Amino acid sequence: MVRKVSRNSIAVTVLAGIVLVLFVATVAGLLYYRKMIKDLNEVQEEVYEEYTRLYAYIAEDPDSKLSKKIYKAFCEYARDNGCYVEMTGQNLSTNYSKADRINIAISSKVDGIILEGDNSEETRELIDKAWNNGIPVVTVLSDNKDSKRISFVGLNDYSVGAEYGKALAELRARDNKQPLTALILLDAEERNYDDMIHTAIIQEASGRYINLSSEKVNTSTPFASEEDVMNKLDALTSMPDVIICLNDRTTESVIQYIVDKNLVGKTTILGYSDTETILKAINKGSVYATVAIEANVLARQCVDALNEYNNNNAEYVSDYFVADYVLINHGNLDSYDPEGSNEGG
């Protein structure tokens, strides 16, 4: 005989199941809530690092790979020496000029400014304005000699140019049948280190059967650099044997052009900086060699100069520090560490 289950019994069973599920969920929720409260009570108050001094780093191009590498070195060294370095103008929706960023640093009453200088009268006036407001300025990579900056930290630009010249001589020695043609791509923005490097290349190449020419390239943005490089090189009646680039954006733009035009093996590059793109290009043969700044040494010299000035109130800071560089080529590529300290050139 089949037993008939009433609808009321089914409803009671379902209701009991729902109540049980809700009870279990409630207990679980209460246990989780108690655990959260316990964890919150155990959390210690967040500890903030305090720094005795704030320095501003003002790069010509705050979004370039080289500026970011240098800034990282500044941050690491400054943190270990009781101060903090902030790069003004990085990753902002509004593009502030270098003059604007210097004024922002002055208005913020920072304890010192690390500035990529230039020869302009406007920059000289702003450096002097900072000085008159009690803010010491260290120029880096490119100087403004007539200003009241306390120190300049830069490469031996003549030595860098001589390195390029020696590399040209090595490339020239591969083929004695005809002159080696080389094009130097200068920055359209006037920078005094470009002039010195250019002069040294000319002197080193003199008498070596090398024909040199030069062009100025707009490097204000990656797109502008790529477009201007393409236009300049497309306008040439013949491609040079070697293209010498004096900053990271130009180097990467020329690498892209050489690859796109199937010129690897026909035109080689002497580059600047040690970005991943440039190091890969050395490995593949489109870049013969590149000059890289020892960012860790540069950071130490800049921060130490400002700290020494602030500690001693002015008087015993060296006027000029020579930063280190390394020439990277296929021979030392495997042993080169972009993040570490390498033997300078």
The mean per-residue pLDDT over the stretch 224-235 comes to: 91
Strand 287-293 and strand 325-329: the pairing is antiparallel
What are phi and psi for residue 247, nearest 5 degrees?
A: -155, 170
pLDDT band at 312 (very low <50, low <70, confident <90, very high): confident
CB-based burial of residue 333 (10 Å sphere; 0-12 exposed, 13-18 middle, 19+ buried)?
Answer: middle
> Is 43's pLDDT higher than 50?
no
pLDDT over 70, % of the chain: 81
Contacts of 196 (CB under 8 A, 6+ apart): 157, 158, 161
Q: Residue 2 pLDDT more than 50?
A: no
Domains 53-155+295-323 and 157-293 share a fold: yes
Cα diameter, the chain: 118
Tell me: pLDDT of 49 over 80. no
Q: Where are the domains of the chain?
A: 53-155+295-323, 157-293
pLDDT score at 341: 52
* The architecture CATH gives domain 157-293: 3-Layer(aba) Sandwich (3.40)
**Which pTM was predicted?**
0.77
Q: Give the pLDDT confidence score for residue 127 in this predicted structure.
A: 96
Q: Taking the CB of residue 43, how many other CB atoms lie within 10 A of it?
A: 7
In 3D, which of 53, 46, 39, 73 has the Cα closest to residue 113? 53
Residue of 77, 137, 79 lying closest to 111 (CA atoms): 137
Cβ–Cβ under 8 Å, residues 78 and 38: no
Dihedral sign of CA atoms 332, 335, 339, 345 in order: negative
CA 164-235-167 angle, to 5 degrees, is: 10
**Coil, strand, or helix at residue 153?**
strand
Q: Alpha carbon of 137 to those of 32, 127, 321: distances in Å?
A: 56, 7, 14
pLDDT at 344: 43
Give yes or no for residue 305 having a pLDDT over 70: yes
Share of the chain above pLDDT 90, in %: 54
Average pLDDT of the chain, as a whole number: 85
Superfamily (CATH H level) for 53-155+295-323: Response regulator (3.40.50.2300)
User: Tokens standing for 90?
Assistant: 């990085």
The DSSP call for residue 44 is P
DSSP secondary structure letters along 280-293: HHHHHTSEEEEEEE
